Every structure is written in C-alpha cells, then in structure tokens.
Structure 1
Amino acid sequence: MEIKEDADLVRRLLTVIENDILPLTEKGVAGGNKVFGGALLRKSDLSLVMAQTNNETENPLWHGEVHLLKCFYEHPVSKQEATRDMVFLSTHEPCTMCMSAIAWAGFDNFYYFFSHQDSRDSFAIPHDLKMLKEVFGLEPGGYNHDNAFWRGHGIFDIIAKLPEDEAVALLDQARRIRTKYSELSVLYQKGKGANTIPLN
C-alpha cells in the first residue's frame, strides 16, 4: 500500500510522537535512558499499533527502534499485523543497527523527525554519524535512503514540499516537540555519568 505523503500524514506522525512516544521517553530518561523512541502505525488508517522508547540501561542493544521491535514480537499483536502493512516511525533518524533491524523485520519504510546531525549537534550523541564514518566510510546522509529494503523519509522534507498554509500549523507542532526533546536531552546529559550504557 502506498502512503500519501501529505499534511494529514505529517500531522498524525507528529501527534504520535507528542502523545504516545514522548510520555514513554520521559519515563525512560528518568531511568537513565536516551531520548530515542519509535512507533508502529497501520498504513490503512494510521492507527497506532505500538509505541516504545529507548531501554539501553537494560541492554545496550535496546535502542528505541530495536526495543520497539522486541516488544512488538513479544506481543500477540505481532501475529495479527504484517510489517509490510505498517509505517515505522522513529523520533530520530535510525542508526545503522536500527536500519538493519527495520530491514530484517520486513518494513519497507521508516519516517524520522530528528536527523543524524540533530542527534550529534542538538543532543550531543554523535555515535550514529561516527559509526557511519568509521565502519562504513560514509559521510552524513551518505547511506541510500531509497534501497531494495526500505525508503527512509525525513518528516521535515515532507513539510518542506507542502503549501505554506498547511506547513505553518505543522511547524508549530514540531516546535513544541523540539522544545520537549531539548528539555529531556538536558536531563539525560546531566545524569548519563551514572548509567551503564557503553556509548552514552
């Protein structure tokens, strides 16, 4: 099923971040975890299947996206919902491990709010770009966003193509989300010395 990239899609993705992922991330950050999270939505009506957040204090592999997939496959809903029929929403552009996990799980898409550069520059978490450079020899943005497995979409790239009157309200909502994540980032950075995450 093709996903129509319009204001309705963006509004729904932002609303899921704001109302479903952020409350989980607030609790996660309070427990020493990073600010990354994700959600699965049905392509048919954009209804929420599941939302989750980073849980690296339990296991350093439980990035927001991988932890979401872990929880999805542990839940009975995974027997009823096919990944090819879902939208994969990530608060931050997935790292190389999470991109691979999305592919291995059979998703043909992912949408992200913050970019790798945002993770480095706004959140002081440079590991995604460092991994791309050191392991794969890729500069920022150098991976194939459209490949045989999935197509990666930046939410702000979609907003940039919308008529101005549609974009304004979405950018207001996006600013609210950015502000909240900035606050959570400050809390994470203050407390990260006490957690056991190897790449904190």
Structure 2
Amino acid sequence: MEIIQNADLVRRLLDVMQHDIVPLTETGVAAGNKIFGGALVRKADLSLVMAQTNNETDNPLWHGEVHLLKCFYESPIATSESTKDMIFLSTHEPCTMCMSAIAWAGFDNFFYFFSHQDSRDSFAIPHDLKMLKEVFGLEPGGYNHDNAFWHGRGIFDIIATLPDAEAQPLLDQAQQIRNRYADLSAAYQSGKDSNAIPLN
C-alpha cells in the first residue's frame, strides 16, 4: 500500500510522537535511557499498533527502534499484523543498526523527526554520524534513502512540500515537540555519567 505523504500523515505522526512516544520516553529518561523512540502505525488508517522508547540501560542494543521491534515480536499482535502494512516512525533518524533492523523486519519505509545532525548538535549524541563515517566511510546523509529495502523520509522534508496554510500548524506542533525533547535531553545529559551505556 502506498503511503500518501501529505499534511494528514504528518499530523498523525506528530500526534503519535507527542502523545504516545514522549510519555514513554519521559519514563525511560528518568531511568537513565536515551531520548530515542519509535512507533508502528497502520498504513490503512494511521492507527497506532505500538510505541516504545530506548531501553539501553537493560541492553545497549535496545535502541528505540530495536526495542520497539523486540516488544512487537514478543507481543501476540505480531501474529496478526504484517510489517508491510505498517509505517515505521522513528523520533530520530535511525542509526545504521536500526536501519538494518527495520530492513530485516520487512518494513518498506521509515519516517523520522530529528536528523542525525540533530542527534549530534542538539542532543550531544554523535554516535550515529561517527558510526557512518568510521565503519562505512559515509558522510552525513550519505546512505541511500531509497533502496531495495525501504524508503526513508524526514518529516520536515514532507512539511517543506506543503502549502503554508497546511505547513504552519504542523510547524507549530513540531516546535512544541522540539521543546519537550530539549527538556528530556537536558535531563538525560545531566545523569548520563551514572548509567552503564557503553556509548552514552
């Protein structure tokens, strides 16, 4: 099923971030975890299947996206939902491990709010870009956003294609989300020296 990239899609993805992922992330950050999270949304009606957040204090592999997939496949809902019928929403542009996990799980898409550069510059978590450079020799944004497995899109790239009257309310909502993540980032950074996450 084709995903129509319009204001309705963006509005729904922002709502899921704001009302479903952020509350989980607040709890996760309070436990020492990073700010990354994700959600699965049905393509057909944009209803929520599942939301989750980073859980690296339990296992350093439980990035927001991978922890979401772990929880999905441990749930009975996985027997009745096909990944081909879902949108993969990531709060932050997925790292190389998470991109691969999305592909291995059979998703044909992902959408993200914050970019790798945001993770480095706004949230002081540079590991995504360092991994791309050191392991794969890629500059920021150098991976193929369209490939045989999935199409990856930034939410702000979609907003940029919309008429001003549709875009502005979405940008206003996006700013509210940015402000909340700035607070969560400050909380994470203030306590990260006490957690056991290898790349904190």
> So what's the TM-score if we normalise by structure 1?
1.00
Alignment partner of 1:60 is 2:60? yes
- Deviation of 1:13 after TM superposition, in Å, equals 0.1
Aligned mates of 1:129, 1:86 — CA distance in 2 = 27
- Deviation of 1:140 after TM superposition, in Å, equals 0.1
Aligned mates of 1:179, 1:53 — CA distance in 2 = 18
- Deviation of 1:74 after TM superposition, in Å, equals 0.1
- Deviation of 1:10 after TM superposition, in Å, equals 0.1
1:30 corresponds to = 30
Aligned mates of 2:4, 2:150 — CA distance in 1 = 16
Q: Letter of the 1:68 partner, please give it.
A: L
Aligned ranges 1:32-111 → 2 under 5 Å? 32-111=32-111
1:167 corresponds to = 167
- Deviation of 1:110 after TM superposition, in Å, equals 0.1
Specify the SS of the correspondent of 1:130. Answer: helix
Kindly report the root-mean-square deviation, in angstroms, between the aligned alpha carbons of the 2 structures.
Answer: 0.2
Deviations 1:50-80 (A, max 9, x none): 0000000000000000000000000000000
Q: Letter of the 1:142 partner, please give it.
A: G
Aligned ranges 1:106-117 → 2 under 5 Å? 106-117=106-117
Deviations 1:124-165 (A, max 9, x none): 000000000000000000000000000000000000000000
1:193 corresponds to = 193
1:132 corresponds to = 132
Specify the SS of the correspondent of 2:173. Answer: helix
- Deviation of 1:22 after TM superposition, in Å, equals 0.1
Unaligned runs of 5+ in 1: none
Q: Which runs of 4+ in 1 moved over 3 A?
A: none
Aligned mates of 2:185, 2:37 — CA distance in 1 = 13
Deviations 1:7-38 (A, max 9, x none): 00000000000000000000000000000000
Specify the SS of the correspondent of 1:189. Answer: helix
Alignment partner of 1:3 is 2:3? yes
Unaligned runs of 5+ in 2: none
Aligned mates of 2:31, 2:21 — CA distance in 1 = 15
> So what's the TM-score if we normalise by structure 2?
1.00
Specify the SS of the correspondent of 1:147. Answer: coil
